[in-house]
Structure 1
Amino acid sequence: MIKLENVVLASPDQMKFIIEGMRNPMNSWDNSDSSCGKATRETNIQWSDDYFIGTNDANLMQRLSNACTDHRKFMRMMPVYVRITAPLYWWKEFDTYKVGTVANSCSTMHKIAEKEFTLDDFSTEHLASQTRQVLEITIDDLNDSRSIYLKTKNKGDWWQMIQLLPSSYNQTRNVMMNYEVLANIYKSRKDHKLDEWREFCRWIESLPYSELVTGGME
């Protein structure tokens, strides 16, 4: 299970700044045709409700994106913020992407005893009925340890929860990435065996001008 919500992208002012920087190497600022307010051509790409990427800028962005990472530095300046809820086994793989990402997570260490554990706290969509029963027993054990810890505040009782917690436990993080990071993720993970990665890549495809990431406009 993975949930992606509260997506925040570059503002019109940020996009204007990014495109200006993209054109710095060739001093080609006069060729920029992106606009705020309304599209100047039907072929312009809508970035947000009030910002449109012009044909000239879009073509240059795509050519640079198709070239190589050295030429598409502007993509590192295109931020993407998103709130992700996913199981710990997925976060373990996501943490491979350390460069260009920042995350604030809900703390398992500090808040593990905050609420009673329920089956909804875990990703269980592929569990067989017998295996689900094992998880339910584990959840009961976690709640027993939680009850004891809340009474004793003993670190040894706290450890019972920390080390018993399954990797299917869902954690929420607010994450900042950029289009270059997304391009690396998409290339490596779009056909991954984990459902969460394939769904994440489908989410990437839904972003404005995702062709920069997926290479869909070569």
Structure 2
Amino acid sequence: MKVTNVRVYDLKESVIACRNAMRLVPPEYTDEEFEKSLERAKKLCKASIGKVRCHANFRTGIRVSFDIEYPNYISSEMQRYHWFDIVTSSSRMHRLVQMDFDKCCNKWVTERSKQQMKELIADYNANQCEDNFMKVLSNCPQGIMMFMRISTNYEQLRTIYLQRKNHKLPCWRSFCKWIETLPYSHELIICDQ
């Protein structure tokens, strides 16, 4: 999976807010307050390991948006769990017969599969009936690369990281490596420091 156009929002504000339970007045969102709150945030994240997530619920306020390119076989896993809000995505339904199968598939799609798709698309273009379209759609390789814009948060990324960092599929392991590159990921998502 390839991740681009990453934006992280409200990290500073959410970390500062992690101390709200102990405050009598609303906080000031200063760099000094962030540094004080970061120490508390790290402790809350470690306290949440193996317990209910409420100790580090402030992570839900650290929002992350990004574009992701992924093999089609991952989309059912991405959509099954409430890890992501999908802003918008590419569409097999609308673009499949226009795709270049020599360029849009991952390295595991065989030449034979690509050739079959080219033949099915040629049949569809010669006779654009429902039966021919359904043959194209139904035989599309799972290794076709799709893309989407996603919004999520640090709490969901922690869940993904814990569940997928040693996953059988290399794209999930790659995605977890990307999670490690986010600001304060080791302190707030991975909780190893």
Which of 32, 40, 64 is 1:80 aligned to? 64
1:71/1:145 Cα in 2 relative to 1: closer, same or farther (>3 Å)?
A: farther
Partner of 2:81: 97
Partner of 2:146: 171
TM-score where L is the length of structure 1: 0.76
Corresponding pairs, count: 188
Partner of 1:182: 157
Identity %: 24
Which of 105, 109, 115 is 1:122 aligned to? 105
Aligned residue runs from structure 1 range 1-218, under 5 A:
2-10=1-9, 14-27=10-23, 34-35=30-31, 53-54=34-35, 56-68=36-48, 69-98=53-82, 101-113=85-97, 115-124=98-107, 126=108, 132-148=110-126, 152=128, 154-211=129-186, 212-217=188-193
Per-residue CA distance 1:66-104 (angstroms, 9 max, x = gap)? 222111111011110010011111222222322553341
Offset, 1:173: 0.6
Contact 2:84/2:150, CA 8 A, preserved across alignment: no
Contact 2:117/2:136, CA 8 A, preserved across alignment: no
Offset, 1:34: 4.7
Contact 1:34/1:57, CA 8 A, preserved across alignment: no
Unaligned segments of structure 2, at least 5 residues: none
Contact 2:66/2:150, CA 8 A, preserved across alignment: yes
Alignment root-mean-square deviation, CA:
2.4
1:17/1:158 Cα in 2 relative to 1: closer, same or farther (>3 Å)?
A: same
Following the alignment from structure 1 to structure 2, what is the Cα–Cα distance between the partners of residues 99 and 178? 8
Contact 2:20/2:27, CA 8 A, preserved across alignment: no
Unaligned segments of structure 1, at least 5 residues: 41-51
Contact 1:76/1:179, CA 8 A, preserved across alignment: yes
1:62/1:94 Cα in 2 relative to 1: closer, same or farther (>3 Å)?
A: same
Contact 2:67/2:147, CA 8 A, preserved across alignment: yes
Following the alignment from structure 1 to structure 2, what is the Cα–Cα distance between the partners of residues 109 and 176? 23
Q: Look up the SS of the partner of 2:54 in the other structure.
A: coil
Shift >4 Å, 4+ stretches: 28-34
Following the alignment from structure 2 to structure 1, what is the Cα–Cα distance between the partners of residues 185 and 12? 18
Contact 2:8/2:63, CA 8 A, preserved across alignment: yes
Offset, 1:59: 1.1
TM-score where L is the length of structure 2: 0.85
